[in-house]
Each structure stands twice: as structure tokens, then as C-alpha cells.
Structure 1
Amino acid sequence: MNWEAKIITHKKEKRIAVYFEKNAELIARIKKLDGSRWSQSLGVWHLPDTVENRDRFQLAPLSHSLPSDEGMEQITKFIQWLSSKRYSSNTIKTYSEALKSFLIFYREKAIAEISNEDVIIYNNEYILKNNLSDSYQNQIVNAIKLYFTTIRETKIEIDKIHRPKRSKLLPNVLSKGEVKLILNAPTNIKHKMMLSLIYSCGLRCGELLTLRPVHIDSKRNIIMIKNSKGKKDRIAPLSPKILEMLREYYILFKPTTYLFEGRINGQPYDDRSLQQVLKQALQKAGITKPVTLHWLRHSYATHLLESGTDLRYIQELLGHNSSKTTEIYTHVSTKSIQQIKSPFDDL
């Protein structure tokens, strides 16, 4: 995947511009980064000029931008090991870049001499000093732990490397009324179908766009979600209403390769266009919250929980590895909370 990053001044502000040929995967990754924006006038995606982003796009503001020769050799071996274990290309890039940042910091030290104390120093003198996020720190720690499990001669004690505490952020959830307004807003059947399927099956954006017509099993009333996050397949039930909408959609659009195709037959619908579909639906529905497509997935899970669906089934439907991930929806479900009477009412 070819791209080039450089520092630019845009609207009197230092930004990092990322140049690449149109690529849905890379666009989706950039859009997830804090502060990323598309410039219509420059025709480029750009991000805040932070230490974290400079490091991410290999523009790290360090005296050396590369590890030692030994470090580079080890990164290559690490990439080969990750590839042999069939890690996704995104994970391989994330982990190898994270390890690279760490080995740049210890460029003058033999890798076999790096200790747990060095990891603590790196966290304090680089991560914390540059105000990098806890999620970025987690990536670094994950990469370090995985890398040092693959080599023998090391002073690192893997079990003693601890990850930072994660921020406990609650998922954003819409009411059923708000969801109904959003799903009824589009007049285009394809647009309505895509948003409705995300909510009705709790799909991630990428899962929707890689669906194929053969993944719809109308006889069993299920949808097959293939090779989703973590390279897992799963199934989700199709409501009769959704199935009827799908039949109508299929007759009108006759998709060939993907269930939702863009202007070019056989090519998946563009994720940026799908974001625009949601944006237009929100405007038409008069909803001013900063809703994203993932809010529909969160809302699906929460509404299932509120209707009495067992948490274990919701975990399966969402494709979560751990029940702890699914349990977060118990904190945003209002079913029990609304029944609590405030002592204020007795005053």
C-alpha cells in the first residue's frame, strides 16, 4: 500500500498531509484517527501535527528516524513471524511500526540488553512526555510483549510488562425513536437498506460492505458474516421486515459480486459514500448528535439487552471474544435505571 506523508501548513496550522491513490482500506483507517480531515481544495487527507502522528507516518521528531541495523533486521524478522501467523495486514503494520518506535528510542542499546526497566523509562520519557494516548501506549506494549516472546536471548520478563489502564468510555446509544427517524430518512432504497441492515444485524461498517448476495440465507432467515474482525465467521438473524426489504432491493439493483456495489459493477460500495448517506439521513431527521455508523451497532446491542435478550447471545451476535466487551452495554441500558425512584421525589 503506497502512501507518502509530509508536513504542510493549512489554514495557518501545521498539519500532516497523507498522499495516496484512492484506497478504501487506508481511507477507513485515516478517518478513525483523531482530528483527521479531508481537504477539498488540496485533494488530500490531513491530520494534526502531533508526535504520535509523526511517529505513525514515519515522521518522528527524533534525532534518528531509524533503529540500528540490528533493530531493522529484527523488525523484518518480526514482520515475517506475524505474516506466518496470518495476522492481518493492518495488525502487522501497527505492531511493526510500534516496535520500530521503541527500537528507535533504544537505538544505541543492544536488543539483548533491553530490560523491563527500559520499557518503564520509554513509557515515561517518550509516551507520557509527549502526551501520547493510552491506546497508542497499549499498541506499543502489545508489540513489545509479542516481539519479545519470539526471541530467546533477552532480559525482558514478559509477564511483568503491564498495559496502561484503559479509559472506561461508554458506548454511544440512540433511542429506538431516533433510530427509526434515521432509517426512515433516506428516499433511496439502497441507502435505506444499508443503514437498516447495519442496525438490524449489529454490523460493523466493513462487514456490511464485504457482504455478498450468497451470504443471505432466506430459507433459514439468517445472514452469514464472513471473516469479520479477528478472522471469525458468525451468523445473525434476519427479521421478516428486513428480508422483505432485501428482496425488493435485490430486484431493483441486481447486485453481482457484492450485496452493495458502487458505481462500478463488482466493486463494493465506498465507505466514505456510506458515511455521507448517514450524514444526509441525520440532517433530514433533524438529529444534531455526532452519530457514526458504529452508533447503530451499539444501539442494536443495547436495545436487545433492554428487550430481555441474554448477554451471552448478544456476545455471539456481535462477534465479541470476551463477555467483558459485551457487558459494557449493561452500563448504558436504561431499562433498570429508569425504574429507580430518585429520593428527590420524596422531598
Structure 2
Amino acid sequence: MPEHQATENAAKERFWDQFIAKARQTGVKENALRWQVRRAEAYLAAFPDKRLKQHTREDVNGYLEQAGRLDRIEGWQFVQIVDAIQNLLITAKSPVAEEVDWDFWRASARTLETNHPTVAREAPPIPTGGEPDPPLSGTPLKQKRNPPSTLNQVRDQHRPLLERLVAEIRCRHYSIRTEQAYEAWVCRFILFCDNRDPSEVGAERIRGFLEDLAVRGQVSASTQSQALNALVFLYKQVLGQSLDALGDFVRAKRPKRLPVVLERSEVGRLLAGIEGTQHLMAALLYGTGMRLMECVRLRVQDIDFQYHQIVVRDGKGQKDRVVPLPVRLEEPLQEHLRQVQSLHEQDLAEGYGEVFLPDALARKWPNAPKEWIWQYVFPSGRLSVDPRSGKTRRHHVHENGLQKALKAAAQRTGMVKKVNCHCLRHSFATHLLESGYDIRTVQELLGHADVSTTMIYTHVLNRGGQGVRSPLDALL
């Protein structure tokens, strides 16, 4: 073997040794290391005449976009591809490793679950496969007393009643989360009543169930209220019975919590710690006061650049509202939409390009799912199979990615506050009030039904350092 070839082979072996060592450092298990190498080799094979240090962000994003169109690739396999390419570029000390939005691609690997709010309305009224129930906010003891398998037995035995319950809920267009919570609470109540039909038990049994939640389950006041609302709905709307005789019962104490609000400089540091698509989404949350899912489910037609506003459709309580579009985000958002439109055109060229439409709109307008105006502003980086219809679509990016990015940014900047996506909404409202905007205006922007809900944001205006001077500061 020529000397130069032997030297080259030795250099390759050292490189792959470094690659494997870095993979181990990031937590890759031993049995998955060979797949990391295979994923990296497949990426290298796509660019046979280009050195790794010459790769651009377009090269990486284009490769991942193509990988994301393979519907046979599972979510965990897509994450494996993303991790392998990132590790490969870092090992090669390629500058592009710092330019790619890796968090976005990892978030794209997670597809929408069958009970996700976006697609769950296409579900049959009662799941037949025994889907997990929404978690209680009480102690693990309560969860242990009502394991999912037992609740599924209740579902099977009382299916006609539960189907009537869900039908009544959907007639009133309650949210899918409310539907799931109410159905789960009714199942727990039936189990508490020794699997008897709710129409055969009276107010005393209901009172005992609610007190059991508070005393033994130690649930929060909001959880107990949710259970009460579910049972009131069941008896009044489904069984046609009044609960006037319910009387008083032991109620869980409801704490008065103040919202977590970031100071303006803290918001700036937080946003500076996030890059790419997640930065744009986080900036929109703070700049508009939108809720997380309202931002994630934005459609192209909802953004009005001419009037500098965003239409938030089907918000909490099924209410539409208009929020301001921050001027400083208009140019980045337009550039982002150009990239999204290019991605959509590629999908159409390959026979895809459909998007999920709610409320049977796809049956009313068969061509609408492929139209540009209906596409998500923040689409996933990969195609996935709709868990309900079985169609291959490009859903919106999973909200979990932004949640993780915000938490990581807060930790990197050393913040000691409990930072999450909703605290950006709290900060939006508080800073508007600090700037002198009328509380009614803020109420409309937030979509609150009652101004008393908005009043909580006045706490920073008349408390703490801005409202009261500590007597310690007056000492000589």
C-alpha cells in the first residue's frame, strides 16, 4: 500500500474514532453507534466531491428536507439522522455546524399524536385502543388507584353513556382537551361508584367523590373544579338530572398565584439565546401575546402585512381576535414565508403538499388543503402520516420544540424565574400596561372574556419596587 494512502486511511480512522467518542459523550448507546456511523456515511455519499468544511446551511437543510419526505422513516430514526449529521460536522470543525437550526429539525421529528388538539377532532367518540388518560395534577396515589387498564374496562362497559357524553360536548364545540378531561373524570367517577351507572347514584356519592379528591387525592382546587364541571355536565346535559341537592363539600384550597413576568432586559436576553425558527416563534409570542398553540397553528392567510396585524383564529373559547404584528418581525417573517413557500412547492412537485383542515373544510373545498394560503406558517421539517386519516401531510411543527428551546435558553442565561412560553404572554400584557395602554385594550388583545382576568397583570404597577418604598431604604 502506498505511503500516502496508508496515511490517509489512518487519518480517516482517527476521524471516525473522534466521531464515535463525541457520540458517546452525547449519550448515544453502544448498540446505536453503528447506525450513527451509517447515517453520517449516507450524508457524505450525497456530497462526494465536497469537503465537510465547505458545506453550507442549504446543503444540510436540503438533505434533511429530502430525508423528511421519506414516510418510511420513523421519528426516532429522523432524530438519529439529525444527530449524526450534527456530530459529523462538529467533528470536522465545519463552520456550518453553528449555522443550522438543529433544534428545529429535532422538533420536526416528533409527529402529532392521535390525541393532539390539532387532529383529535377526527377521532371516534370513544377510543377503542385504550389511549392513555390525561394526567391528574394530584398525587401518584390517585394515579395508582385508577390505572389506565381499569379505566379502559369502565369505557368498555359504559360505552353508550360515554358516547352520549362526547356527542353532547361536540354539539357545543368544546375544546378537545375539555372533551378528553370530562370523559376521563366521568370514568373515574364511575369507578369510584363501584362501576355503577351514574343515573343510579345520588348527590351524596358525588359529594363523596369530590371530597375524596381533595382529602385523599390532594388535588389542586382547579382539578377538583374540573371534576365537578364534568359531573355537572354529565347529569344536566346527558342524564337530564339536576344537582341542586349537591350541597356543600370539602373544597381544595385555591391559591392566588401571580403570573411570572420577565423584565424587558430579561426578555431580550432570553430571545438572544434562541436561534432560527424558534427565535421567530418566541419573538411572536412576546410581541403579540399569543398563546403557544395559537402561534404554532398560524396559517399563511392569518398574517396581514398591509395592516400590520395577525388574525388569531379559533382561540380559547372559539373566539377570533386581532393582535399587532411587530414591525421588526415583518422582514424576518416574510423571508421565513418565502422559504416555507419554496418547501411547499417542492412538496407539490413530489405529489404531497396537503395540510390538515378543521371542521370538514376539506370536504367542502377539496382543493383547499394544497392551497398556499392554508399552509402552516411554521411547518414541520418533515412529512408525517396523519394519525387519524392515514394521509401523508406536512403538519405544523410540534410545540414541544419551542418549549424545550425556551427552557434551555433560560438556563443558559442564568435566569432564576420559572420561564415558559406562557410567561412571554404575561410579559406582553404587563409591559403594555406599564407603557400606559388601557386595560380594556389589553383585555381585547389577550382575548380575555372578563376584565378581572386581565387585572392580575396590574400587580407590578402597584406592588414591589415601583409602588412601595421599603422603610429600610429610609434609614440613615
Say which of 406, 413, 431 aligns to 1:278. 406
Q: Could you tell me which residue of structure 1 aligns to residue 143 of structure 2?
A: 53
Q: After superposition, what is the alpha-carbon deviation per residue over 1:177-206, rounded to whole angstroms, capped at 9, x for unaligned?
A: 000111122343x23211111110011111
TM-score (norm 1): 0.76
Q: Aligned pair in 2 of structure 1 residues 82, 268: CA closer, same or farther (>3 Å)?
A: same
Q: After superposition, what is the alpha-carbon deviation per residue over 1:42-74, rounded to whole angstroms, capped at 9, x for unaligned?
A: xxxx999813434676256x9x963896x5543
Rounded to whole Å, the distance in 2 between the matches of 1:83 and 1:144 is 16
Q: After superposition, what is the alpha-carbon deviation per residue over 1:204-255, rounded to whole angstroms, capped at 9, x for unaligned?
A: 1111111112111111111011112222111101122122332233345546
Q: Could you tell me which residue of structure 2 aligns to residue 263 of structure 1?
A: 381
Higher helix residue share: 2
- Give the counterpart letter for 2:148 in structure 1: Q
Matched, 1:317 2:445: yes
Contact 1:65 1:104 in 2 (8 A): no
SS in 2 for 1:86: coil
Matched, 1:186 2:274: yes
Rounded to whole Å, the distance in 2 between the matches of 1:68 and 1:25 is 19
Q: Aligned pair in 2 of structure 1 residues 264, 90: CA closer, same or farther (>3 Å)?
A: same
Q: Aligned pair in 2 of structure 1 residues 172, 282: CA closer, same or farther (>3 Å)?
A: same
Q: Identify unmatched segments of 5+ residues in structure 2.
A: 1-109, 119-134, 345-374, 384-393
Contact 2:302 2:312 in 1 (8 A): yes
SS in 1 for 2:313: strand
Q: Which has the larger radius of gyration?
A: 2
SS in 1 for 2:320: strand
- Give the counterpart letter for 2:257 in structure 1: L
Q: Could you tell me which residue of structure 1 aligns to residue 454 of structure 2?
A: 326
How far the C-alpha of 1:174 sits from its partner, in A, is 0.6
Rounded to whole Å, the distance in 2 between the matches of 1:327 and 1:57 is 40
Contact 1:207 1:228 in 2 (8 A): yes
How many residue pairs were aligned?
A: 307
Q: Could you tell me which residue of structure 2 aligns to residue 341 of structure 1?
A: 469
Matched, 1:170 2:298: no
Q: Could you tell me which residue of structure 2 aligns to residue 115 of structure 1?
A: 202
More moved, 307-316 vs 331-340: 331-340
Rounded to whole Å, the distance in 1 between the matches of 2:257 and 2:177 is 24
The structure showing larger relative contact order (alpha-carbon pairs under 8 Å, at least 6 residues apart) is: 2
Contact 2:168 2:238 in 1 (8 A): no
More moved, 192-201 vs 326-335: 326-335
Contact 2:302 2:310 in 1 (8 A): yes
Q: Aligned pair in 2 of structure 1 residues 240, 128: CA closer, same or farther (>3 Å)?
A: same
Q: Aligned pair in 2 of structure 1 residues 125, 288: CA closer, same or farther (>3 Å)?
A: closer
Matched, 1:198 2:274: no
SS in 2 for 1:23: coil
Rounded to whole Å, the distance in 2 between the matches of 1:118 and 1:139 is 17
Rounded to whole Å, the distance in 2 between the matches of 1:222 and 1:158 is 50
Rounded to whole Å, the distance in 2 between the matches of 1:81 and 1:54 is 30
Q: Identify unmatched segments of 5+ residues in structure 1.
A: 1-20, 30-45
Rounded to whole Å, the distance in 1 between the matches of 2:301 and 2:282 is 20
Matches within 5 A, 1:34-53: 50-53=140-143
Higher strand residue share: 1
TM-score (norm 2): 0.57
Q: Aligned pair in 2 of structure 1 residues 208, 169: CA closer, same or farther (>3 Å)?
A: same
Contact 1:311 1:327 in 2 (8 A): yes
Q: Aligned pair in 2 of structure 1 residues 168, 56: CA closer, same or farther (>3 Å)?
A: farther
SS in 2 for 1:228: coil
SS in 2 for 1:236: strand
Matches within 5 A, 1:119-268: 119-151=206-238, 154=241, 156-157=243-244, 160=247, 164-188=252-276, 190-254=277-341, 256=344, 257-264=375-382, 266-268=394-396
Say which of 298, 306, 313 aligns to 2:434. 306
Q: Could you tell me which residue of structure 1 aligns to residue 57 of structure 2?
A: none
Rounded to whole Å, the distance in 2 between the matches of 1:198 and 1:278 is 11
Q: Aligned pair in 2 of structure 1 residues 337, 147: CA closer, same or farther (>3 Å)?
A: farther
Matches within 5 A, 1:12-31: 22-24=111-113, 26=115
How far the C-alpha of 1:135 sits from its partner, in A, is 2.4
Matches within 5 A, 1:55-134: 58-59=148-149, 66=154, 72-107=159-194, 111-112=198-199, 114-134=201-221
SS in 2 for 1:66: helix
Seq. identity, %: 30
Contact 2:210 2:224 in 1 (8 A): yes
